[in-house]
């Protein structure tokens, strides 16, 4: 009988009431988001998306009208009987791949609910500790026993309390400009003026600031739109009438 993988209870119980705020500059005349003023946490979220395995992206977007056929491939593996899986292999390797150890994902509310990034800290071995794997229940290549004994993994610089507290990819000493097509740059007065000139904004009276909430729903919408749109922020926050903060 195949052993069951332990549940990821710490991630599944994450309180999704914690949302990020994002300040948008909207041109109401053209109904377009020119750019967003974002803090470190939102930029870290965007950068974390780059490290998600394809299967994790597929799982996240499966119920959100995913474009293309990769969802069909994912469901095929889900529905494939274990009878056809090689001995010592498990479907979990493909269906629930472990992301790299992402410094921005450790405490990020937008991704932890799915568990796509939280499992990277769990490793398993057989009783004799011949090998270590990140997949629960596989067969040890040496003794062929199940690799079900959880082992601790210590992050580099684990003793650095200040780094552990801050985390993430980018520094929080500045505010960032996130363009409609997700180009990210440090914000400055000059860069903001350059953006207005780029979009040929003649009447600033048509410009409006709007603060929106970004939670799991909006995070998934951003992930989906990033694959098929060059105007992600406009599509997500103006196209579907997302709730303002």
Nearest-angstrom CA–CA distance, 188 and 54: 35
CA 107 vs. chain centroid, Å, equals 11
Mean pLDDT, residues 14-21 taken together: 61
Question: What confidence tens digit (pLDDT) does each residue in 190-213 have?
Answer: 877 888 888 888 788 889 999 999
Of 143, 120, 117, 116, the C-alpha closest to 133 is 120
Nearest-angstrom CA–CA distance, 149 and 147: 6
Beta strands across the sheet bearing 149-151: 132-133, 123-125, 149-151
Residue 167 tokens, joined: 């985390």
Residue listed under structure tokens 């939670």: 215
Residue 143 tokens, joined: 């003794």
Nearest-angstrom CA–CA distance, 182 and 42: 11
Beta strands across the sheet bearing 20-27: 184-186, 176-179, 32-38, 20-27, 207-214
Domain boundaries, the chain: 20-100+167-238, 109-158
**pLDDT score recorded for residue 241:** 46
Using the 8-state DSSP alphabet, how is residue 5 labeled?
A: P
Of 93, 105, 169, 76, the C-alpha closest to 137 is 93
Task: Tell me what percent of the residues of the chain surpass a pLDDT of 70.
Answer: 72
**pLDDT score recorded for residue 166:** 60
Strand partners, 146: 139
Stated pTM of the model:
0.69
Residue 48 tokens, joined: 């974390």
Strand partners, 154: none
The segment with the largest mean pLDDT, out of 14-28, 49-63, 99-113, 210-224, is 210-224
Q: Which helix (H) or strand (E) holds 20?
A: strand 20-27
Question: What confidence tens digit (pLDDT) does each residue in 100-116 have?
Answer: 655 544 455 555 444 45
How far is the first Cα of the chain from the last one, in angstroms, to the nearest whole number? Answer: 50
Task: Tell me what percent of the residues of the chain surpass a pLDDT of 90.
Answer: 24
Q: Is 158 helix (H, G, I), strand (E, B) or coil?
A: coil
Average pLDDT, the chain: 77
Mean pLDDT, residues 134-161 taken together: 74
Residue 118 tokens, joined: 């939280």
**pLDDT score recorded for residue 156:** 55
Sign of CA dihedral 64, 65, 67, 68: positive
């Amino acid at each position: 009988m195949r052993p069951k993988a332990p549940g990821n209870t710490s991630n599944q119980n994450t309180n999704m009431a914690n949302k990020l705020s994002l300040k948008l500059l909207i041109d109401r005349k053209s109904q377009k988001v020119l750019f967003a003023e974002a803090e470190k946490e939102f930029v870290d979220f965007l950068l974390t998306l780059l490290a998600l395995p394809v299967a994790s992206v597929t799982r996240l977007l499966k119920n959100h009208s995913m474009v293309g056929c990769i969802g069909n491939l994912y469901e095929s593996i889900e529905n494939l009987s274990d009878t056809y899986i090689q001995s010592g292999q498990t479907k979990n390797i493909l269906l629930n791949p472990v992301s790299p150890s992402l410094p921005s994902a450790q405490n990020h509310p937008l991704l932890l609910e799915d568990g796509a990034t939280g499992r990277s800290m769990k490793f398993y071995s057989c009783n004799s500790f011949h090998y270590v794997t990140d997949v629960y229940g596989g067969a040890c290549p040496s003794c062929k026993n199940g690799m079900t004994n959880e082992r601790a993994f210590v992050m580099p610089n684990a003793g650095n309390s200040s780094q552990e507290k801050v985390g993430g990819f980018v520094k929080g000493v500045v505010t960032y400009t996130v363009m409609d097509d997700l180009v990210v740059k440090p914000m400055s007065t000059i860069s903001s003026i350059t953006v207005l000139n780029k979009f040929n904004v003649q009447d600033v009276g048509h410009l409006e600031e709007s603060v929106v909430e970004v939670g799991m729903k909006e995070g998934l919408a951003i992930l989906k739109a990033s694959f098929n749109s060059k105007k992600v922020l406009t599509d997500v926050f103006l196209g579907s009438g997302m709730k303002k903060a």
